[in-house]
Every structure is written in structure tokens, then in C-alpha cells.
Structure 1
Amino acid sequence: MTGSDKTVGKAVPTGYPGEVETPERAAKRRSATRGAFFAEFVDMFDIYLPTVILTPALIYFQPAGMTAGLSAILTSLVFATTLIGRPIGAAIFGGLADRVGRRRATITSVGGFGVITLLIAFVPGYATIGIASYWLLILLRFLDGICLGGGYTGALPLAMEYAPKHKRGLLGGVILAAFPLAYIVINLVGMASFALFPLAGPDSPYAVWGWRIPFVLGALLAGVLVLYYVRYVSESEIWEASEKKSAPLKNLFTGPSGRSFLQVFAMMTGFWLTQNMVTLFLPTTVLHTVLKLSGSQLTTALLIAYACLVVSYIGSGVIAQRIGRRRFFVVLGVLIAVGGSTLMALLMNGTHLSYGAIVLLVCVFSVLVTAPWGVVLPYINERFHTDVRASAFGLGFSASVIIPSFYAFFYAGLNQVVSAAVAAALLLGIGGVLGAVGAAAGPETKDVDFTKAA
């Protein structure tokens, strides 16, 4: 894609005017795509470690007789600190990726969360160092969140910059499909861990050391990812040929880039709100509290739904490549607001439904509401010029999750004036409309040439 490329063997059209994809560049594209898929998988694997693996073992870090309220606060801090760390990491490593290269930023951030994840696996319990064990765990998860925020910030733009524009939709969907795949794998790891190591109080095998094994596995995956980037992934040729600027974050929030960022932030805030209704509200409130599914029923329903998402993310990327990203987001936002809200109401009032019907509704609901995520990767990267692309993608993707993370408070407030089902449907409607309006405020991007200013 740059003037420095050398043609090796037979050249293949890329879709860029007057340009070709040589076998050499095709090999680099495949390596970058595999690396981005693996980076997304490892990132999400690490994100789900506390939720699935550590939560049952938190009693190991707590004093006996702790009140339920204090326990809930400390538990939430373990997860909230990771959330807070991610946008900070996106800003730090996004700026690094724009200044010194996507590949170097990826290696640094992934190496960081690999080491920190390994350190978490060796944190002693309350019986050894008292309440300091909890604060150490929280500190390490915060630092982990910072590094996790940088893991995809360099890797994913790098892959997009190697992708011919007519393949960016497909490859973006494939890379983001690593998210539901990671959810499936971490749950299977958790189920195996619970079966192998009994959990019965703070001195039980699982609480003392069983939970540590998946964390060691997460650290090993990060180590493998670092080695892969060191050995097989080349730096982005688009970035290498670009004009480097000293203050990418400042440039991101000023001028045309600043206006683009506000538009992307608004759209992503809407789609994060709808996403949280699937990943957080659906399992905890709908399936567990309202429909009262057993643990095995709930896990099975979600595993089936997430298996569907692996395929649907790729399908979304392909569809948006044909009809356009902007049109796809606008149509999906409306469908989520109308169809997603309807499906949510059916589930919230579905105590009379059979288990099979519930699973079917969960799958259809999850596929519809999360469909935009198969398209966000190419879209956000296409909205910004090379000098701020990594910073813009990292912050546009992760900072926009902050407001939607308070969905439980929004839901509780709405539930004061309307029924629970209507409150949930309203949140989906608000998220869908905000996503559609945000997308409509921006241009179509699927024909953007990365070698020129976006």
C-alpha cells in the first residue's frame, strides 16, 4: 500500500486504485490478522478471569465475618478497577502506537498484562497478609486493566492497515469473533476447574490454589502472543510511511479528528449500552433473577448464544462490507430499539416459557443486539487518519464504555416509574437510537483509502 512495497511473484488487486497486493504483503496481512485475533482472544480471556474464575474464590481474601455490604463493595472494586484502567491504557498505549509503532506498543502492553496476570496468580490470602491481600489484588487488576487497554489498541489497527479495503469487513468480523470465543473457552476452563477442585470455604482446594491455574494459563497465553508478534508480525507499512506527529492525543481531540471522535464516542456509547444488556443484564437479572434458571441451565444457554455470536460477528462484517458500515449501523440501531426491546420484554415476562424457547429467544436476542460489534473494528479505524488512528480506536472503543457501565443505576431509576420489563426495553431503545443517530452523523467509510487522510 505504500511506495516502498516490492512486487514478488503474481500481484493480486486489492481494491485500492492503482495498487496491488503482492504475495509478500498477503503473508504480512495474514500474520497481522492472526495476531489481532489472538490479541482480542487473550484480552477477553483475561477480562473474564475475575468474573468467571476469581469470584467464587474471593472468600480467600476476605476476613471471617465480613458484612455482605462490605464484601460486595470489595468484590465490585476488583472488577471496577480493571474497567477504569482500560481507557487509561488505551490513551497511553494508543499514543505509543501512533508515535513508535503498532507492533512495539502491542508487544509492550501484552508483555505487561502477561506479567501482571502471573503476579495475580501468586497473591497470598487474608490468612497470610491480612486485608492487604485484597488491596494488592485490586492494585494488580488496575495495572492489568491499563495493559489490557493497550493490548488491542496497537494490534487491531495494525491488522486493519494491512487489510485491503474490500476485505476489511470480513477480517474485522473475524477478529472481533475472538470475543465470544474467549467467553466460551473461559467458561469451559471454569467448569473444568470447579469440577476438579472442590470449593467449600476459604481453606478449600479451589479457594487456596485451584483458581490460580487459569491465571497462569492466561499469563502463558500472553507470553505466546508476545513471541508471535516478535517473530511473525511486521510493523504496519501504512504507519511507517505516514508523517509522525509528536502529540497524537492532542491531535485527536482537536480539528476534524476531534469532531470525528465525538461522533464515534456517541455511537459507541449507544452500542455499549445495548451490549451491556446482553453481557451483564441478561445473565444476572433476566436469566438468573427473573427466569430463575439453574446454574447449569444458565451457563448452557449462554454458551449456545455465544457460539452463535462467533458466526454472527463474521456475518455482520460481510453484510456491512456490501451495504456500507453507516447504513448497517443505522438499520441495526433501529432494529435493536424495536426488535431487541420486544425480545427483552418477552424474556422478562417469560416465566411460562419452556427452557428450549428461552434458549432460542436468548440466541436471537444476543445475535440481534450485538450485531454492530462485528463492524466496529473497521469502522472506527476508517474514521481517523494514520497519525491518530491507534489512539482514536483505543479510546473510541474503551472510553465509551464508562457511561453505559452505570446501566444498573439507569435501570433502577427507570424501574421506579415503570415496570422492570419496560425499564429494560427502554434502555435498549435508548442505546439503539443513540447508536443509530451517532452513526447517521458520520460518513460512510468502507471506501476509505488508508494511504490518504480520512
Structure 2
Amino acid sequence: MEPQKFTIDSGKAIVSQFVGFLLDSYDLTMILSIAPVLAKVLLPPQSSLLATFSIILSYSLTIIFRPLGSAIFGNLGDKIGRRADLIITVLGLGIASALTSVLPTYAQVGILSFILFVLIRIVVGIFAGGEYAAGHPFAMEWTPYKWRGLISGIVQGGFSFGAALAAVVEGIFISAYGLHNVEVFAWRYIFLTALAPAVIALAIRLSMRETPVFEDVKNKKLIRKTPLIDLFKKPYRKDFLQVMLYMTGMFFFAYSLFAFVPTILEHSPSVFPIGEADTIYSYGTYAAFAGAVMFGALSQYFGRRKLTIIWAIITFIVSIPMYYLLMSSAEVGNYILASIASILVGIITQGPWGIIPIYLSERFKASMRASGVGFGYSSGIFLGGWFSIYVPLMHEYLFKSIDTPTNVWFSTAVLLMIGAVLVGIGQYIGPETLGTKLVEETEIKQG
């Protein structure tokens, strides 16, 4: 049965997924916001923007492996339970992220350093894909109905909070050691800090109980033989394809902030030094957390579908003005206006993510929920994960004269506009999920 009120177990589940998702984003931000530093450490000398794109591309290559992690651990989560899954994934995610700190540099081993970096990113991607496959259902299945929207926003906001925390930690290291020393050795310490949230999440998860919804699945003997494969069979296939379209647009939303706001702020015509650029970017990630929580809470009253469609329309309209404000204020060094622009980007791009944990949990039956949530979430990567190719291509062949040769503000705005179209259509062709029960009431006929 579904929980009717908050319990200690509900609190543990929510904190566990918040910290676990924080760790995923913490690692991501470490890569993207100090991409210029990593480029100098892991790659041969080349143009600053090209080197940064190389680091961002390496991340794109690794997130393509997230669906594999979602497939493996989502299927496992529907067969053995969410809790055991989460213990494995947080261990793998924390250790793999921290391993970045012991990489040899290009000066030591040549291009092998970058190859090892990409291999670590692949491992991180696999465990990250498993993290939300079991983690989102776990948190939502412990949450009472009337609080689903708000808690969904808080859980998803863990991603934005992790980005903000990473930006703050990087700022502290740059301030304490200086940019030169960060490039020489202190970048290793930055990645080593990923162990802290991993240890916290692991301690919480070891003390948790399995969700009552999954226990109900076991008691009713509804465990599926092949939950992942069932996603692609009738009548579930059309649901999965609708979610895939929607999530493709959502990934364009996400990386319009996380990948390219730091890039815009750190390259000319921006005049901000990297430390100041990271601070301005961090304001956007704080706002992203607030936006996700607000959006999730509002969806409990207005509905997930209606609110998202309206938001997508607004996003399409404001994308270009918003990114122009970011670039133009960075060009003249206007810290206040750049911060306002970063905050606007954070709210606009990350607000709709606030419903993802509950929306995806409501879209799939309990007996295939970890597979559906995990692989449905990751399916957006198949097309959305190549953002690091789309933006450079638009920049080089379509909008270079608008972007300026060394900045991608207009191409990023267009990426977000495409995302808004996909998100709007994806939600329009899907059902309203508000009010859906998370327990499964229909038994499966085993063939």
C-alpha cells in the first residue's frame, strides 16, 4: 500500500535520493565548470574554446552510457528491490568520481591521460544511470500523495544543489590555491571531495527499508520476468516513446544551463575571470533548485501536463532575450546583470525538472517502474546527449556571426528553443498523471 503520512522511512528515502542525485550533479559540474583547467591538464595545447569543447564532448560520450546503467540497474531494481540497487549504485558512483583525482596528466603520459579520463566517465555514467532508475521510484513510493509534487521538486532539486555546491567548492579551491596551482595539482583535491556525499548517501541507504509499494508487488506475485523488455511491448511501448520524446527536450533544457552557461561566462567577449564566472554560474544553480521545488509543488495543484506545456511556450519566447542578457552583461563585466541572467536561466531551464521523479513514477506500473523511470529518463540522452555536438555545429555553420567567434550564446538559446518545442509536444501527446496510484492493482499473466 502507499504511505498515508510521513514517517522516518519517508525522510530517509527523500534525503537518500537528494544526496545521491546531488552526487551525480556534483561530478557533472566538476567536469563542465572547470573544463578549461582539465583541458590544460589532460590535452595537448590548442585553442581555449576547442579544448573546452573536447572536455564537454567527453562528457557527452560518457552520458551515452547512462541508458546502459539504467537498463542494468532498473531491471535489477524491479526484480530484487530498490534498496539493494541504491547501495550498489552510490558506491560505484562515488568511487568512480573520486578516481578522477588520481589521473596522470598529459605531460606525464600523453593522450593516454584523456583516454583514461573518458573511461572513468563511462563508469560514472553507468552507475549514474542506475542511480535514478531505482532512486526516484524509491523516494516517490515512500511519499504520501498530497506531498508528491513538492517532494519530487526537492528530490530533483538535489541535482541543481549539487551543481551549486560544486561551483562553491571550486571557487573556494581557486581562491585558496590560485588558478595556477589548481591547474598544477589542486584539481585533484576538488574531485576527491566527491567521496563526502557518497559516504553520507551510503550510510543512509544502509539503514533504510524497502518501499511498501515494492513489498506489495512481491506479495501479489507481480514480479516480472523481463521488466525492461516489457517496456517495448504493447501496450507500454507507446508510453515509453512519448516519455522518450519528452525527455529528449528536457535534456536540452538541462544542458542549456549546466554545459553552456559556464562556457558563455568563461570565454570572450566575457571579461569575467574563471572564479568570478563560476560564482555567477552558481547563482543560476541556486535558482534552479528553487525553480524545481516551485514547479513540483505547483504541479500538485495545476497538473503536471498543463503546467509543463505553458512553461514550454514561455521558454520558447524568452530564450534569446535571456541568453543575450547573459552574454552582453558578461561582455561589459556587469556582475549584477550577469547574475540576474544566470538566475533566470536557472529557473527557466530547471523548473520543469521538478516533476520528473513523480511524473515518470506515475507513468509506469510498479512492477516495471525502476526500468521505466530509469530507461525512460535516460532515453532522452539518445538524441539529447549530443548537445556538445549540436551547439558547436550551429555555432560554426549557422550562427557564428551572431554568437561572435569565441562565444555560443545564440546557439545555446536555439538549443533551448528546440528543447521547449520537444517538451511541449511530448507532454501534449501524453496523459495527465496527477492522481495516479503508485501501487499496482492488476496481476500479470505469466506466459
TM-fit CA distance, 1:207: 4.2
Q: Which amino acid aligns with 2:202?
A: V
Partner Cα distance (2:110, 2:341) in 1: 46
Partner Cα distance (1:347, 1:73) in 2: 20
Q: How many residues align?
A: 429
Aligned equivalent of 2:21 = 40
Asked if 1:299 corresponds to 2:278, the answer is: yes
Partner Cα distance (2:358, 2:25) in 1: 19
> Residue 398 of structure 1 aligns to a residue in which SS?
helix
Ranges in structure 1 where 5+ consecutive residues have no aligned partner = 3-13, 15-19
TM-fit CA distance, 1:34: 0.9
Q: Cα 1:447–1:425, aligned 2, differ >3 Å: closer, same or farther? A: same
Query: Which residue, 420, 438, 444 being the options, matches 1:432?
Result: 420
Comparing 88-97 and 410-419, the one that deviates more:
410-419
Partner Cα distance (2:308, 2:53) in 1: 37
Aligned equivalent of 1:141 = 121
Aligned equivalent of 1:106 = 86
Comparing 121-130 and 212-221, the one that deviates more:
121-130
Q: State the TM-score, normalized to the length of structure 1.
A: 0.84
Partner Cα distance (2:37, 2:401) in 1: 34
Retained in 2: the 8 A contact 1:265–1:400? yes
Aligned equivalent of 2:391 = 408
Aligned equivalent of 1:247 = 226
Asked if 1:122 corresponds to 2:98, the answer is: no
Q: Where does 1:45-444 land on structure 2 (aligned, <5 Å)?
A: 45-53=26-34, 55-62=36-43, 75-76=55-56, 78-126=58-106, 128-200=108-180, 205-207=181-183, 209-231=185-207, 233-242=208-217, 243-285=222-264, 288-347=267-326, 354-404=334-384, 405=387, 406-409=389-392, 411-412=394-395, 415=398, 419-420=402-403, 425-444=413-432
Partner Cα distance (2:24, 2:273) in 1: 29
Partner Cα distance (1:384, 1:301) in 2: 38
Partner Cα distance (1:220, 1:297) in 2: 25
Q: Cα 1:172–1:76, aligned 2, differ >3 Å: closer, same or farther? A: closer
Aligned equivalent of 1:7 = none
Q: Which amino acid aligns with 1:257?
A: Y
TM-fit CA distance, 1:410: 5.6
Aligned equivalent of 2:445 = none
Q: Cα 1:334–1:418, aligned 2, differ >3 Å: closer, same or farther? A: farther
Aligned equivalent of 1:8 = none
Partner Cα distance (1:82, 1:244) in 2: 31
Comparing 73-82 and 396-405, the one that deviates more:
73-82
TM-fit CA distance, 1:402: 3.7
Partner Cα distance (1:276, 1:259) in 2: 26
Retained in 2: the 8 A contact 1:98–1:244? yes
Retained in 2: the 8 A contact 1:165–1:446? no
Stretches of 4+ moved more than 6 A in 1? 65-70
Retained in 1: the 8 A contact 2:289–2:350? no
Deviations 1:35-88 (A, max 9, x none): 11111111111222223457514544456x679899668645542343222222
Deviations 1:402-449 (A, max 9, x none): 423243156337725994577555443332122111101111111001
Q: Cα 1:224–1:330, aligned 2, differ >3 Å: closer, same or farther? A: same
Retained in 1: the 8 A contact 2:359–2:433? yes
Q: Cα 1:299–1:40, aligned 2, differ >3 Å: closer, same or farther? A: same
Q: Cα 1:378–1:305, aligned 2, differ >3 Å: closer, same or farther? A: same
TM-fit CA distance, 1:353: 9.3
Retained in 1: the 8 A contact 2:152–2:357? yes
TM-fit CA distance, 1:249: 1.3
> Residue 387 of structure 1 aligns to a residue in which SS?
helix
TM-fit CA distance, 1:269: 1.3
**Highest CA radius of gyration, 1 or 2?**
1
Aligned equivalent of 2:440 = 452
Partner Cα distance (2:42, 2:234) in 1: 49
Retained in 1: the 8 A contact 2:248–2:380? yes
TM-fit CA distance, 1:348: 5.5
Q: Cα 1:379–1:294, aligned 2, differ >3 Å: closer, same or farther? A: same
TM-fit CA distance, 1:193: 1.8
Partner Cα distance (2:92, 2:327) in 1: 42
Partner Cα distance (1:132, 1:240) in 2: 47
Q: Which amino acid aligns with 1:433?
A: V
Q: Cα 1:357–1:39, aligned 2, differ >3 Å: closer, same or farther? A: same
Partner Cα distance (1:119, 1:365) in 2: 32
TM-fit CA distance, 1:218: 0.8
Retained in 2: the 8 A contact 1:326–1:439? yes
Retained in 2: the 8 A contact 1:180–1:306? yes
Aligned-residue CA RMSD (Å) = 3.0
Partner Cα distance (1:111, 1:394) in 2: 18
Deviations 1:243-295 (A, max 9, x none): 11121111011112211111111112122223322333333237744554443
Aligned equivalent of 1:17 = none
Q: Cα 1:298–1:126, aligned 2, differ >3 Å: closer, same or farther? A: closer
Q: State the TM-score, normalized to the length of structure 2.
A: 0.86
Partner Cα distance (1:422, 1:66) in 2: 24
Retained in 1: the 8 A contact 2:64–2:381? no
Q: Cα 1:362–1:217, aligned 2, differ >3 Å: closer, same or farther? A: closer
Identity among equivalent positions (%) equals: 26
